[in-house]
Amino acid sequence: MLLSEIYDYVAHHINDLELKGDQNCQITHLATIQHAKTGEIAFINNVKYRQFLETTEASVVILAPDLAEHYQGNALVTKNPYLAWAYVSHLFDTRQKHLVRTIHPSAVIDETATIGENVYIGANVVIEAGVQIGDDSVIKAGSVIEENVVLGKGCFLYPNVTICYGCILGDRVTLHSGVVIGAEGFGFAPGPTGYVKIAQVGRVILSDDVDIGANSCIDRGAIEDTVIGKGTKIDNHVQLGHNGIVGEHTVISGFTGIAGSATIGNRVVIGGGVGINGHIKLHDGVMVTGDTMVTHSLIEPGVYSSGMPVTDNRSWRKNVVQLQNIDKLYRRVKALEKKIDFEE
């Protein structure tokens, strides 16, 4: 692919993109800046990789204007190299381009289901009664779509995805392998002889351009729907409990657990391994760092953390001992303060 072709595609999305060098340069692969060879394109988004500009063999580098001043090779220059790299990556992702849009003979499709145009349905897929599949969608092997589910246009389901009854997906939704959409929420009422199951009669609604990583589970609502807003991206192994609401363009990293009826705002960023209590709210623009335990609503934008950063084991053990003595130390200080006040 010519550098000029790459430029034309990316410039359609990024207004400040500038091409420096030989526009007829041929590019065949993507690569990291430190390992790139001739014919490959790389990028720099972090100044700590600046040193590799002097040694890289990349035919083209995507970089910011301040770094471009120190680089004499072919370059795509923009204030947002990472975003430019995202668009470039689309041009070299050939995994699905040669997928023939057919329906595999082993697929089981109910006669009342509606299948759009240019749809791919893989081996051993099950599509139940009343399902609607939008145009240009891909459903790969082993996926199960239960009754009355609606998929919009251009959805992509990787192998072994399950979408439970009545759930609704917008356009261009991507679900990776092992995802379960609309499993019953964790609802049980304690009774005199044990727990009584509460029927979960809500749905899951995924808006346009939602992406959900492998083995994540989005529970259906108990009464009202569980809803994920437009453009939100969810990593692998994430659990969203029943009645949860997630806003638009929010990012949730792996191994995060969100209890039922929590509300997550727009453009929230949640790190890995975060726990979020139920029935609380995270305001628009909140950022939560990894391994944080969120026990109350966060009503102001900002960065929030909890937990203890890593240190050597010896220091950590000493700190834990001191933490266990904080209450004793507090009571001792209060007693001393009272004694000083009395003597004065």
Q: What is the CATH number of the domain that holds 187?
A: 2.160.10.10
Q: Does one domain contain both 122 and 260?
A: yes
On whether residue 99 sits in a domain, the answer given is no
Residues 321 and 279 in one domain: no
* Statement to judge: residues 126 and 76 lie in one domain: no
pLDDT-based confidence at residue 344 (cuts at 50, 70, 90) = low
Write out pLDDT tens, residues 207-263: 999 999 999 999 999 999 999 999 999 999 999 999 999 999 999 999 999 999 999
* Radius of gyration for the chain, computed over Cα atoms and rounded to the nearest angstrom: 26
Please tell me the total count of domains within the chain.
Answer: 3
Pairwise CA distance, residues 149 & 157, whole Å:
13
pTM over 0.75: yes
- Kindly list the strands in the beta sheet with 302-304, ordered across the sheet, starting from the edge strand earlier in the chain: 120-121, 138-139, 156-157, 174-175, 211-212, 233-234, 251-252, 269-270, 286-288, 302-304
State residue 307's pLDDT score. 80
Same domain, 221 and 320: no
**Structural domain range at position 320:** 314-343
Residue 271 tokens, joined:
């790190």
pLDDT band at residue 340, thresholds of 50, 70 and 90? Answer: confident
**Residues 112, 160: one domain?**
yes
Residue 100 domain-assigned (yes or no): no
**How many Å apart are CA 70 and CA 323, to the nearest integer?**
50
Please give the C-alpha separations between residue 288 and each of 151, 218, 240, 306, in angstroms, as whole numbers: 32, 20, 16, 9
User: Per the domain annotation, does 121 fall within a domain?
Assistant: yes
Residues with Cβ within 8 Å of 286's Cβ and at least 6 positions away in sequence, in order, are 265, 268, 269, 298, 301, 302, 304
Tell me, yes or no, whether 162 and 33 share the same domain. Answer: no
Reduced to 3 states (helix: H, G, I; strand: E, B; else coil), residue 313 is helix
CA distance 304 to 270: 10
What was the pLDDT predicted at 2?
98
User: Final residue of a domain: which of 58, 92, 126?
Assistant: 92
Is 242 catalytic? The answer is yes
Reported as type and span, the H/E element at residue 277 is: none
pLDDT tens digit sequence for 121-176: 999 999 999 999 999 999 999 999 999 999 999 999 999 999 999 999 999 999 99
117 and 52 belong to one structural domain: no
Which residue among 242, 249, 279, 296 is the active-site one?
Answer: 242
Residue 167 counted as domain residue: yes
Task: Answer yes or no: do 79 and 176 share one domain.
Answer: no
